[in-house]
Structure 1
Amino acid sequence: MAAPLEHPPATETARAWNGPGFAEFVAIVALMMAVTAMSIDNLLPAFPVIEAHFGLSDPNRAQLLVYVYMIGFGLAQVVYGPVSDTYGRRPVFLASLALYAAGCALAMAAPSFEWLLAARVIQGLGAAGGRVLSTAIVRDRFAGREMASVMSLIMMVFLIVPMVAPAVGGLMLSFGSWTYVFVSMLVLAAVLAVWFTARMPETLHPEYRRPLSLSATGQAVMLTLRTRVAIGYATALGLMTGCIMGYVGSAQQLFDTGLYRLGPLFPLAFGLVAGAMGTATLVNARLVRTLGMRTLSHAGTAAFVAVGLVQVGLGLAYAGKPPLPVFLAVLSLNQFLISFAMPNFNALALQPLGSIAGTASSFLGFYTTMLGASCGYVIGAAFDGSTLPIGIGYAALGGLALLVVAWTEHGKLFRGGVSG
């Protein structure tokens, strides 16, 4: 019989813990999530080389290396949560790392662009384990504002990766081949596998183990779908994720070889924008304990929409090419603001689902990733050599996210409860 679906007790965070200390715990879980960012961002400098190697005539086609990865990443999340709710977080995560490594090896041997796309799907299938299980592991240990604070710290560490990943990719390219970029991904996976195996114990509470069956999974998914807070904030998170994916897919063309033609300075511009997100997550981690998840995320989303409209205005005023310092400043401000929304939306969505954290994280991760990848692809495919698609995408998706949040909260924005 399936385990009960009642909410976890408030005292669950006081359970005995025999794992790593707080700082090391955050570092390991952040690295689990960082596999995804590294697998996307350090490949961006290699786009022109890959285009030339495979004879791609349309530069927008290289963006598929981001979006097919995200498709595999999204689809696999449906599996990892239910399986980890049965067999535990540790064995499932290590199996996902092995699949990710296989995808890296296949990419290095790709004889065609289609083969490379298939290898990227396999990479995404493996990397999804880190996304689902990192969130589930945090939810196994923490709840409420404490969970939101921990997630913000993890996101801060996680966001350091985009600051350095393009530079790592460029460094690997200097060795003579785009295939060396995948070597850096393999090294990251190996380090994580050793560290996780040595230091992270099983976090799934025995009373929350669930049978691996369609009926048990279906019961958990239906509870998730019926929970207004969960599905509402997950939808808002997916829309905001679409903004990030649209920017990442277009970044190489925006900064490197397309609009601003920064060349070797591309990693610097990309890192500056990512640094704004990292700074915001640190601020969020400090403020969320006192102001609450709802107040910060609602205010951040509303301000994000306003700045998105400023981006559109600048694009129109400067015929699609605002001065680089101005564009970077406004884009960084929006990335700063989005970091007050995304970690809190994620925590709010999972907050009432502690007894099914693995399956809930899995399903919601699938949903938000597929929604985000779809929206991001629309923005990226619309790239026309100007900044307007980014600005319009940010304003439109941010506005939709704010409307969804208003529906979720029955029109009562900026009002936090005891746990939010």
Structure 2
Amino acid sequence: MTESNFPFSRDYSGYPLLSARMLIENRVYRSCFETALMTMINMRSTGIPVALDFTPQWAERSIGHTWNALLTNEKKIIAFGSFTDEEPGILHKACENMVKVFRYTYTMNHKLLELNLKEKEVPGTFRNLFIRDVTEQYMQTTDLTVPVKFNADIETHYGYLAAFDNSEWVPLDFGKRDGSKIRFGNIGRTAALLPVVIDASGFVQPVNYPFSITRDDEIRYFIPDTVNRTTLTLKRKYPAAYHSAEGGRRLMQGVMQAANEPDFSDAVSFRAFETWQPAVTIRADTLPPYRYWRYIAPPETPIAIAEMMFIDPVDTARKITGKIIGTEGCSGYNVKEHLTDGDLLTYYESPNWGKNDWIGMDFGAPVSLSKVICYAVSDANSIEFGDTFELFYHNGKEWRSLGKKTAYDAVLHYGDAPSGNALFVLKNLTKGVETRIFTYENDEQVWW
């Protein structure tokens, strides 16, 4: 069974589960669950004991995942992903953080039966009685008891631990409630979790502050200090994955220059690209007018820039444009016009390595500017100029807004924010869907 013989497709997402016969006959799979299911069917048919394991929700991003696990004679597991090049035994998607793993079984889980008999509202994952908790086979775990501080009047027999899926809290484990306490077992560590109950209308209701379990097995609650306030400087609304991290790296060590001579013989240089940043701002409000501006590629590297913005000194919401100048040509379809198209998902890439390629702007005459902004190649989750954002913090019961701001720079500054171990989320109200919870530690966003 190879990937070429069994192509992957999402065209059937939203339809009911396909039967084994239909999977084999059509050879098109819509999800990780069906690829793992087909792998299990094939391997079990030849006598290989393979299980179907899943996490209902990744701890640090949206959705969950399903994969396979080979059960050895030594009662150990060898986890692997279907249709991947990973070596068996290397944890599938090891870079993803998870706190719960379940296995599909033929035997009914009587704990889940009791949950469904006692509770009117049960999350979809736990309506399936034929799964069992195998988290301890994948990671170090913790048993804990969470006090009920909020919504104690909601009468339930069980509570849940929920992870943030980029928009809401999704239950991924359940525990028995004993009056003002809820007991949970086999919980993975280093993730932000919210203890909740489900009310009579089926809504998730917090019962305590969000928390994480440290690697040292300590509970760390995310409690905001609303008395002592602080200022946040925010650079992104979502953590930088490889593509965005690499984009910021490629911007490093470049040099920006301003001049009034076309050969830049009178250039003033700005070395503002020394550290990794999703975007770099050069303050120009104290500079004399210049006709020419350019960015020179780092040594041994072609240019890769998503946007180059020149901001008016009076109307700081207005971008000034001129004629794009610089090294001839481009790499592939990454043309110069992408520098000013207002789309962070497109970018300009120069054609040469190690030849001091450069790109810039001729304004036709010397102009004054308030700032110059260079955006790195990224996933467009940076603080984009002109977009409106809203920052929230979690007070234990709900998300509370700290106000809306329109970005006129590559960073956002929020004064009067709660200090302490507060948990925040920043939303772009103009565009995009990805957002992620974070704390603010040592003047940096720490993602959860």
TM-score range normalised by the length of the shorter chain = under 0.3
Larger RCO (CA under 8 A, 6+ residues apart): 1
**TM-score, length of structure 2 as denominator length:** 0.22
Larger Cα Rg: Structure 1 or Structure 2?
A: 2
TM-score normalised by length of structure 1: 0.23
| Structure with the larger helix share | 1
Of Structure 1 and Structure 2, the greater strand share is in 2
